[in-house]
Amino acid sequence: MISSLSPRRRAALLAAGLIAAGCARRARQAATVPASRPPEASGASPAPARLTKSLIQIGIVTRGEHLTLHPNGTYTLTDQKTGQSQSIESGKGFVVQPGDRSRYLFGPFELQGPARLSPKRADGTMTVGQKRYRGTLLVRPNGDATFAVINELGMEEYLYGVIPAEMSSDWPLEALKAQAVVARTFALQNMGKFQSDGFDLTSDSRSQVYAGVDKETPRIVQAVDATRGQVLTWRGETLHAFFHSCCGGHTGDYGSVWGGGHAPKPLRGVSDKYCRASPQYQWSAYFSDDDILAALQRHGHAIAKLKNVRIREKDSAGFVSTFRVAADDVSFDVNAKDFRNWLGNTDLKSTKVLQIARKKKGYTFLGRGFGHGVGLCQWGAHFMAKQDKDYRKILVHYFPQAELSPYHD
């Protein structure tokens, strides 16, 4: 059994301010994930080994402070260092916070190593912050008074939480099936990408968005189950499959958009008439001179006055690769993907910019599409499914000559 703190032990910790600090900050006990990952602390606990190779590990919190976990059902809490275990029941929250020396507190329990939380029933879930998760959870001290929380579950169950976060669950079923195949392929191809952090993938857009249990619907489960184990391959290898919201009439070439040389045939881009009815097909965005100047200054350009912004170079699909900026007495090139991120990638929706128009005290960018443009165009898949195209035809269109192959987890 994991030892619960004695009254004397608890009093000592209260005197040291370790428990009181957590109580005083209950308003911010939800898990927090920063926009960028700081360097791993040298005192971090080693990543707990996965139970079997058939499981995928998702980092749902990378550097959380004073987490609160709420079991929905009975769980077994196991200290991975000592092997001691304790049954914990639903109906209460367990605050995770630093203890003294190399130990930490999980509610009333003191632990020495990473904790594994295993549901005793298959339908058990754990609430972390505002989201519920199925499967096993691992809580790992980072060694700097923060904690990582890792969700360990099967690939198909993981996809139940990915598909509704990346595509509307009320879209046509065949589009959802196509999304499931691409998301499964992406996950398999990127397994272990964040191994140095102690998990396979993140739960945000650095990998693909994973929302846990709460967005699951019967249609999402149906789409995933109908394509169970299916992935895209090219010449016997798992394809680097991607997806985006809207391509604006032609998907991008992988090599052109991200570099890396000659792209395989399925990733060279295709003409796409299907997404023309998308609300993201055409757009305009206005940025003031001050907005553009500030974005450039924040990223190392020591300039005082903006004179002009124009398109310098495009690829064959219409995506801008380079913008040319004139400021003060100099002109310089800016990578289009960087420029989009600096201005905000939900405002400058794509690098498929058709025209830049000078306006009073700023510029209007006229463009098409939303996202990086490589791989599956989600809006195109939506309208293909509306025209009774099944998911196999959708995938053949966006990934020509790729094969649909079985993958068994």
Q: Is there a single domain that holds both residue 166 and residue 123?
A: no
For the four alpha carbons of 104, 108, 110 and 113, in that order, the dihedral sign comes to: negative
Q: Is there a single domain that holds both residue 77 and residue 106?
A: yes
pLDDT digits (tens, 9 = 90+) for 216-265: 999 999 999 999 999 999 999 999 999 999 999 999 999 888 877 788 99
Tell me whether residue 219 is in a domain.
yes
Q: Is there a single domain that holds both residue 356 and residue 384?
A: no
Tell me whether residue 274 is in a domain.
no
Q: Is there a single domain that holds both residue 130 and residue 190?
A: no
Q: How many structural domains compose the chain?
A: 3
Q: Percentage of residues in the chain with pLDDT exceeding 90?
A: 72
Q: Is there a single domain that holds both residue 234 and residue 297?
A: no
Higher pLDDT, 296 or 32: 296
Looking at 145, 166, 190, the residue that finishes a domain is 145
Higher pLDDT, 24 or 278: 278
Q: Is there a single domain that holds both residue 24 and residue 133?
A: yes
Res. 13: pLDDT tops 80:
no
Residue 105: its pLDDT value, please?
A: 87
Residue 92: its pLDDT value, please?
A: 87
Res. 398: pLDDT tops 50:
yes
Q: Is there a single domain that holds both residue 197 and residue 300?
A: no
Tell me whether residue 288 is in a domain.
yes
Looking at 91, 121, 145, the residue that finishes a domain is 145
Tell me whether residue 44 is in a domain.
no
Q: Is there a single domain that holds both residue 14 and residue 134?
A: yes
Q: Is there a single domain that holds both residue 189 and residue 126?
A: no
Q: Is there a single domain that holds both residue 394 and residue 330?
A: no
pLDDT-based confidence at residue 53 (cuts at 50, 70, 90) = low
Tell me whether residue 55 is in a domain.
no
Residue 174: its pLDDT value, please?
A: 98
Question: Which of 29-43, 140-154, 272-286 is predicted least confidently?
Answer: 29-43
Could you tell me the pTM of the whole model? 0.83
Tell me whether residue 85 is in a domain.
yes
Stretch 144-164: mean pLDDT, rounded? 94
Q: Is there a single domain that holds both residue 106 and residue 193?
A: no
pLDDT digits (tens, 9 = 90+) for 314-367: 999 999 999 999 999 999 999 999 999 999 999 999 999 999 999 999 999 999
Q: Is there a single domain that holds both residue 326 and residue 383?
A: no
Tell me whether residue 103 is in a domain.
yes
Tell me whether residue 150 is in a domain.
no
Range of the domain at 294: 282-368
